Structure 1
Amino acid sequence: MMIELELIARLVIAGILGALVGFEREKRYKEAGLRTHFLVAVGSALAMIVSKYAFFDVVNSGTIELDPSRIAAGVISGVGFLGAGTILIQRQSVHGLTTAAGLWSTAGIGLAIGAGMYIVSIFGTLLVLIALEILSRLFQPVFPKFHKLTIHVRTNEAISAALTILSENHLDVKSYQVKVTSVDNHPLFVVDLQLKSKKLKKKETEILKMLQTIPELESIKFD
């Protein structure tokens, strides 16, 4: 009975540690949030517990030897497919890689808890949270973030005017794509731009006001 209580405690601890990672992803509105990370951690811990303890009645016969690491390896591979489902490719940008890596790390945390490695699991969780929450802020001044700007305009001249405004405000356009659609039998140009600047957030309101002066502009969206 005491052994079963300890195994249940392992599942609970794994769920809590996984939920901590998921909470960070949830508040950033990522594809996989609190529940997903909780389930990955608990499921991984359960798989490891089954791998280590579920076959004692067979192994005790002395005729069979089992390798508990095989299920752990299978869990890591399986979570790789789950992580791939969180990765989105939109035009020239890729989203969800960090969340996929977080899921993979959460599976490792769950496996470690299932194996009874409490201290290692807790420190692993702390390192994952540091990577997700602190490193991006710490190195943000060094590595400028790419921002996405989407504008809808009526003419090619409006595209040139928008690019001129961005250039005059020292915003580097890494890439942009133009898609032509039709609204009420009139052409509408949808322009997706990737901008690189350390100070874009400070100048966002000012840039929006300048872009709004373009007569042919229909809408603006900053991501």
Structure 2
Amino acid sequence: IIIQKQYVRGLTTAAGIWATSGIGLTIGAGMYTVGLFASVLVLIGLEILSRVFKISPQKTLRMEIEAELKSSLAEVLNAVRSNMEITTYLFTEYEDSEPTTYHYKITGKLKKEGDELLLYTRLNELPHIKSIKIE
């Protein structure tokens, strides 16, 4: 199981490995009926889980935003949080440019499918935003 920020990844794989080892121990102990029954239950459970997660996919979105004011950070994050769960963000200040440019890289998962346009519209309405790139 790999825990990254707020998300757990690989939980189904870890559970499958533990289930397989338990089934192997059961078969090795001579309890063939119990092992076969457990195998069928695990396969049914994994099939149901795979169908549930295919129905509701969460799309990962990457954004790059440039702004003219440093105070825009809170406004940008609030606008983004309304439509997506932020997993990571990076804030960079470029003082060598005239005027100073502030660059945000934000990665997250959309709360609802198709919210990219709504998110873009909300960000575009913010003052001092120079550019928005959504991937």
Q: TM-score, normalised by structure 2?
A: 0.60
1:149 matched to 2:61? The reply is: yes
Match of 2:38 among 111, 116, 124: 124
Shift of residue 108, structure 1, vs aligned partner: 0.6
| AA of the residue aligned to 2:116 | L
Do the aligned partners of 1:158 and 1:217 also contact (CA within 8 Å) in 2? no
For residue 116 of structure 2, what is the aligned residue in structure 1? 208
1:193 matched to 2:108? The reply is: yes
Shift of residue 105, structure 1, vs aligned partner: 0.7
For residue 96 of structure 1, what is the aligned residue in structure 2? 10
With over 3 angstroms needed to count, the CA separation of the structure-2 counterparts of 1:192 and 1:98, relative to structure 1, is same
Q: Separation in 2 of the partners of 1:195 and 1:116?
A: 49
Larger radius of gyration: 1
Q: Separation in 2 of the partners of 1:187 and 1:165?
A: 16
For residue 36 of structure 1, what is the aligned residue in structure 2? none
Do the aligned partners of 1:174 and 1:193 also contact (CA within 8 Å) in 2? yes
| AA of the residue aligned to 1:90 | Q
Count of paired positions: 120
Match of 2:91 among 175, 180, 183: 180
Unaligned runs of 5+ in 2: 125-129
Do the aligned partners of 2:60 and 2:109 also contact (CA within 8 Å) in 1? yes
With over 3 angstroms needed to count, the CA separation of the structure-2 counterparts of 1:137 and 1:127, relative to structure 1, is same
Do the aligned partners of 1:154 and 1:218 also contact (CA within 8 Å) in 2? no
Q: Separation in 2 of the partners of 1:176 and 1:109?
A: 36
Q: Once structures 1 and 2 are overlaid, which stretch shifts more, 173-182 or 111-120?
A: 173-182
Per-residue CA deviation, residues 68-116 of structure 1 (Å, 9 max, x unaligned), is xxxxxxxxxxxxxxxxxxx222222221122111111110111112222
| AA of the residue aligned to 1:216 | S
Shift of residue 164, structure 1, vs aligned partner: 4.1
For residue 59 of structure 1, what is the aligned residue in structure 2? none
| AA of the residue aligned to 1:151 | M
Highest RCO, 1 vs 2 (Cα 8 Å, sep ≥ 6)? 2
% identity of equivalent residues:
37
With over 3 angstroms needed to count, the CA separation of the structure-2 counterparts of 1:219 and 1:174, relative to structure 1, is closer
Shift of residue 188, structure 1, vs aligned partner: 2.8
- Larger helix percent: 1
Unaligned runs of 5+ in 1: 1-86
- Larger strand percent: 2
With over 3 angstroms needed to count, the CA separation of the structure-2 counterparts of 1:110 and 1:176, relative to structure 1, is closer
For residue 127 of structure 2, what is the aligned residue in structure 1? none
